[in-house]
Amino acid sequence: MKADWISILSQEDGDYYIAKTPKNQVTITKTVKERRKFKRNLTVVTPSQKFYEIYSEEQILDIIDNLDIEREIPRQYNYLDGGAEFWDKYAQRLEQDRAPNLVRRTMELLDDNSKFLDRQLGPFARVNVIDVGVGNAIPTQNLLRHLLEAGKLNRYVAIDISQDMLNIARRNIDAWFNNAPTHPAIRVEDYVADISSESFRFATAPDSNSALDSENGDATVNLVLLLGGTLSNFRNPERVLEVIRKSMGRKDFFIYTVKLDSPATRQHFDFRARQDRGAELPRQDQSNELPPQYKFIVDLLGISEEYYDVEMDWDERERARYLQIRLKRALTISFKFPSKVSVDLNKNDAVVVWRAQHKSDREIEDMLITNGFKLLLSAQSADQEYMLVMANRRRKV
């Protein structure tokens, strides 16, 4: 490599010039030829019109930066538009499936620990449930019923990056609880927010109009939920935890559920429910197709399946399971908006479309504590593969 490179420069009046040596001329001619060949082999793809309709200008810039710098498509962008339907179908099937999975285990853990929760909520007359990254709300259903029957449920606030996901959650809540539309048992408030950067303190702020709250500061408490392993998919989960902590009031509660690190969970990928292919498949049994919930944005970007192979595995260094596409040829993705900009991807580059960072029970607890939470409960499923944590904001007074 070194022998091929231009090694001699000449300097005149502070400017540098390539010295006109025979060796440099050979190197330059060869490089130009190679570049021409490279250009001819390059495939240019363009995102579809729908891509520009679905994502905001800021989101498109974020997608461009992530592709260009991190070689990653952040998972969150797969939940918008039709991507929400894919998640909904997948989560519905997990709920029906008898095999262990995050949806079922989350519901079991909430159920098993409801006595503890009741005792913590005991001093409060009313509870607002703030469901962050709501999905289709299936894992929250029984908890809502429980609070409703106890006469404690006040507001149900759903927060998600995807309006389509929020619409699905609202449709489900109406179907489960609101038989009389004129007098709904649960009124859903929904807000679009990106929890990797946007606070939702506006949704947890005390209700100044409530007579009960102004008489007694303890009357209402917020129960913030982050269910279904959402946190493990972020490159920087601690930033999300900070947004959540800062969006909580001094007495508010936080419940988080997650799949734990173990030799077994490192080996299994549950992209498809059992009815499709087999829940919790070992990685060697998976096909080379990209599951629809991750293919959504790859298709929108114009990256056709003939251009890539699908890879999934366990990354020991990152301690994460991952799903990525590996390019079979060099691609340029040409964006027309917000400005005309291209991202060049090389042949053999891998672009991550999903990751799940693994942490042990101790690491989950430490992460919460170092990020300003006070642990109240740490519980695990009988198989010790799933965990539920309940916490407050740690306060000095």
Ligand X SMILES: C[S@@+](CC[C@H](N)C(=O)[O-])C[C@H]1O[C@@H](n2cnc3c(N)ncnc32)[C@H](O)[C@@H]1O
Which residues are near ligand X by CB under 6 A? 76, 79, 91, 103, 106, 133-135, 138-139, 160-162, 165, 193-196, 227-230
Torsional sign, CA 373, 377, 383, 384: positive
CB of 337 to ligand X, least distance (A): 22
Nearer to ligand X, 24 or 163 (CB): 163
HEC profile of 8-33:
CEEEECCEEEECCCHHHHHHHHHHHH
10 Å CB burial of residue 171 (0-12, 13-18, 19+) is: middle
Task: Please check whether residue 380 is in contact with residue 345, taking contact to mean a CB–CB distance below 8 angstroms.
Answer: no
Nearer to ligand X, 235 or 283 (CB): 235
CB of 70 to ligand X, least distance (A): 15
Give the tokens for residue 231: 């946190």
Longest dimension (CA), the chain: 89
Nearer to ligand X, 200 or 308 (CB): 200
Rounded to an integer, what distance in angstroms lies between the CA atom of residue 154 and that of residue 218?
14
CB of 192 to ligand X, least distance (A): 8
Nearest to 264 by CA among 386, 118, 352: 386
Task: Please check whether residue 80 is in contact with residue 162, taking contact to mean a CB–CB distance below 8 angstroms.
Answer: yes
Nearer to ligand X, 103 or 391 (CB): 103
CA 199 to chain centre: 16
Nearer to ligand X, 100 or 133 (CB): 133
CB of 366 to ligand X, least distance (A): 23
Nearer to ligand X, 194 or 207 (CB): 194
CB of 102 to ligand X, least distance (A): 7
CB of 28 to ligand X, least distance (A): 48
CB of 225 to ligand X, least distance (A): 7
Nearer to ligand X, 219 or 231 (CB): 231
CB of 110 to ligand X, least distance (A): 10
Nearer to ligand X, 193 or 320 (CB): 193
Q: State the alpha helices, DSSP H only, in 151-283.
A: 163-177, 201-204, 211-215, 237-246, 263-267
Task: Please check whether residue 162 is in contact with residue 230, taking contact to mean a CB–CB distance below 8 angstroms.
Answer: no
Q: What is the phi/psi pair of residue 220, to 5°? A: -125, 140
CB of 106 to ligand X, least distance (A): 6
| 253-259: strand order across its sheet | 188-192, 153-160, 126-132, 220-226, 253-259, 386-393, 373-380
Nearer to ligand X, 95 or 276 (CB): 95
CB of 194 to ligand X, least distance (A): 4
Torsional sign, CA 372, 376, 378, 381: negative
10 Å CB burial of residue 278 (0-12, 13-18, 19+) is: middle
Nearer to ligand X, 47 or 229 (CB): 229
CB of 380 to ligand X, least distance (A): 17
* 3-class SS of residue 287: coil
Rounded to an integer, what distance in angstroms lies between the CA atom of residue 84 and that of residue 164?
6
Give the single-character DSSP code of 376: E
Nearer to ligand X, 198 or 363 (CB): 198
Torsional sign, CA 239, 243, 244, 250: positive
